Amino acid sequence: CQDFEFLIIDDGSTDSTRDIILSYTDPRIKFVENFQNIGHAKSLNKGVRLAQGSYIARMDADDISLPERLEQQAAFLDEHPSVGLVASHIRYIDIDNEDLGFWNDDIRHPDAKSIIAYLPINNCIPHPTVMIRSEILKRYKYREVFTANQEDWDLWMRLISDNVTIEKIPECLLHYRKHQESLTKKAPNLKRRRIGVQASYLAVQCFRLKFNRFNWRVFKQLLKKVDALYLNNALVQLYQGVRYCQRFLSGIPSVFHLKRAIKEANPDDRQKIRLLFMMPHMEVGGGEKVCLDILSNLDPAKYAISILTTRDKPHAWYDRFRVVTENIWHLPEKLTESQAQIVVSHVLERLRIQLIVINHSRTGYTLLPCIKKMFPQIACTDIIQGGLASALAQKESSDSMVDFIHRLKGQVKTTPDIAEFSAPYASLLNRRIAINEDVKARLIADYQIPSHSITIILNGIDTEYFDREKVSAGGFREKYGLQEHGRVVSFIGRLSVTKHPEFVVAVAKQLRERGQTDVTFFIAGDGSEAERVRQQIEDSGLDGTVIMTGYVDEPRTLLRDTDILFQCSEVEGLPLVILEAMAMSVPVVATRIGGIPELIDNGEHGFLLPFDENFLTASAESIIKLFSDPILYREMARKSRKRAESDFSIHHMVCQYDNLFHQLVRDSS
């Protein structure tokens, strides 16, 4: 991008800035000198008045724009006439150009929807990365008073309030310098300044009689900030007390209803282990399937099973769990801790529970101190099925990988993992169950859990049920109009942030670019990322090449028509879908993370690839290699089936759980 004017506003500098700039003879440079300091906002507006181009790009004197910045942003605004302003991501650098990482608020809000959601709380748009349509900025200008050096945030809110679309290019196009003298230095009274900016913004909006949903959200966030800063103690405690009373009163009907339902349950007087499973929900997922497989295969002559769920979810698999036991209750999230303790103690006492198994239930962990105090004779254990923070979430991987994911319209999840949440309660558990060596190693290294208190029980599957010889072929191919001999790659799983379904679309695009036009990709599953992936498919022109099937109730029917299973998660435990594919003689191409290397020997049962910037290219090459080498493919398929049968049978898994449960109850007694 060469067609631009470079306006440099010197706001009364006292160094050699003037001489340096005037030493350049490039006609695009226009030097404007303020003979006295007039302030940041006024200097910006002076530049806006003088600007002659269609677009205005912002930049500060101490930052570095990357060479492709102007070209990419101008092209974006040309291609998206409905967008008024486009920004990009930044990387912090110090005075010596050393990398200081990303700005979290910027990275976590990469698109128009998330920007609108977060701007009432705080700024998330790096000002020096902005390119805006000239007519818009000339109309709105920067407010020169009552913005406390945050005139950019004030401008973004005014634009959003008037329905001007703000977008981001999900790439780093500017290096943002942080040093002692910079305006980026964090002021001690920053919270007060933010309150002042929002109050001033709302005053202007009230004067304009501009009342809309966005301004209402800004007002609510302003009240929260004022409340936190100025009314912190007495009023906050009063507010919390009122909210607690409201929550307590609203929970009373649920407590009475649950107590009546529990009272109707008949305790099993026979010599059985009385087992309570505490789990968040009965939704569709690999972890829930493991729980269902355990409970379904325990001998009903030896176990009296009850289930308590702790999250307000639809419980799509309720009917499947109902086959195992009628003793299923839901603990509403609105209950206070004391009310939850009442309900749980009623269950434990009424059904004379001997063993509690917690499966990723945060409420279950928080209730443990009360349970162990009131019922010390009850044995307690938990199952850590995965859910550990990935290298990205722990910020151990390269920032370039975060950049890479954002370029593909993906996201990075940074919430605490279940192992971290449960760590304070570890001493209250008689035993901890890890589903693979990786989980055990992480518990020991990161949370100092003693090795002798952890038992590894690998997941298993029903290899007789998942047997390609017992499943009719062609159902999925016929349903979606595929040729009998067309090649199929399938992704099966929840469409969540950490599963990175956007990688499937990117790999499909690479294969098409390499001439592999007869390969169809199925994305089977549902979840929070579904709409984003659907849009990515449309934008890439891959309709018909990448097919989203939604949730598949019988994955073996899809696996029967699948040639290669492709999994691209950044974090995994011991995924059942890979075991199911192996049992169905389907080679796997997957990330080398978590417990996956305990299932697959690279080059023997499939290909395991590092989760890095080269993953897409390596995945495309691995898929092509399998399709182009029939002998290698058949050998991998055979070895996969053999490995699943010999090492991961559901019978072996259930026997291990049965033995451990009996041991825990004996020891506790």
pLDDT in tens, 173-226: 999 988 654 444 444 477 778 888 888 888 888 877 888 889 899 888 888 887
Please, which residues have CB within 8 angstroms of residue 567's CB and are 6 or more apart in sequence? Answer: 491, 493, 575, 577, 578, 588, 589, 590, 591, 596
- The string of pLDDT tens digits covering residues 96-111 is 888 888 888 898 898 9
Which three-class secondary structure state does DSSP give residue 523? strand
CATH number of 468-648: 3.40.50.2000
Confidence (pLDDT) at 628: 94
Residue 127 has pLDDT above 50, yes or no: yes
Average pLDDT over residues 302-318: 91
- CATH architecture classification, 243-385+416-456: 3-Layer(aba) Sandwich (3.40)
Per-residue 3-state assignment (H helix, E strand, C coil) for 187-256 = CCCHHHHHHHHHHHHHHHHHHCCCCCHHHHHHHHHHHHHHHHHHCCCHHHHHHHHHHHHHHHHHHHHHHH
CA distances from 155 to 49, 53, 85, 159, 533 (A): 16, 20, 11, 6, 32
- The string of pLDDT tens digits covering residues 419-470 is 888 888 999 999 999 998 988 988 898 888 899 999 999 999 999 999 999 9
Q: Give percent helix, percent strand, percent coil of the chain, each to the nearest 5.
A: 45, 15, 35
Q: Give one DSSP letter per residue of 59-88, joined into a string.
A: --TT-EE-TTHHHHHHHHHHH-TTEEEEEE
Q: Please tell me what DSSP assigns to residue 543.
A: B
Domain 6-185 adopts which CATH fold?
Answer: Spore Coat Polysaccharide Biosynthesis Protein SpsA; Chain A (3.90.550)
Cβ atoms within 10 A of the Cβ of 127, count?
Answer: 22
**AA identity, residue 176:** Y
Radius of gyration (C-alpha) of the chain in whole angstroms? 30
Higher confidence at residue 404 or residue 607?
Answer: 607
Under 8 Å between Cβ of 519 and 487: yes
Q: What are the two backbone dihedrals, phi and then psi, of residue 137, each rounded to the nearest 5 degrees? A: -70, -35
Please give the Cα distance from 296 to 422 (Å, whole number): 26
**Domain span(s) for CATH 3.40.50.2000 in the chain:** 243-385+416-456, 468-648
Closest CA to 393 of 117, 111, 594: 594
CA distances from 88 to 160, 236, 413, 444 (A): 17, 38, 20, 40
Please give the Cα distance from 550 to 610 (Å, whole number): 28
pTM value?
Answer: 0.61
Residue 393 has pLDDT above 50, yes or no: no
Please give the Cα distance from 467 to 623 (Å, whole number): 23
Which three-class secondary structure state does DSSP give residue 619? helix
Please give the Cα distance from 258 to 270 (Å, whole number): 25
Mean pLDDT of the chain: 87
Confidence (pLDDT) at 397: 44
**AA identity, residue 569:** S
Residue 496 has pLDDT above 90, yes or no: no
Which three-class secondary structure state does DSSP give residue 170? strand
Q: How many percent of the chain have pLDDT more than 70? A: 90
- The string of pLDDT tens digits covering residues 231-265 is 555 555 665 666 667 767 777 787 777 777 777 77
Q: Which two tokens stand for residue 286?
A: 């690999």
Average pLDDT over residues 391-403: 47
Confidence (pLDDT) at 26: 86
Under 8 Å between Cβ of 45 and 35: no
CA distances from 76 to 113, 156, 167, 497, 541 (A): 17, 19, 10, 26, 18
Closest CA to 532 of 508, 551, 560, 504: 504
Confidence (pLDDT) at 606: 95
CA 535 to chain centre: 18
Confidence (pLDDT) at 398: 47
Confidence (pLDDT) at 185: 44
Confidence (pLDDT) at 636: 96
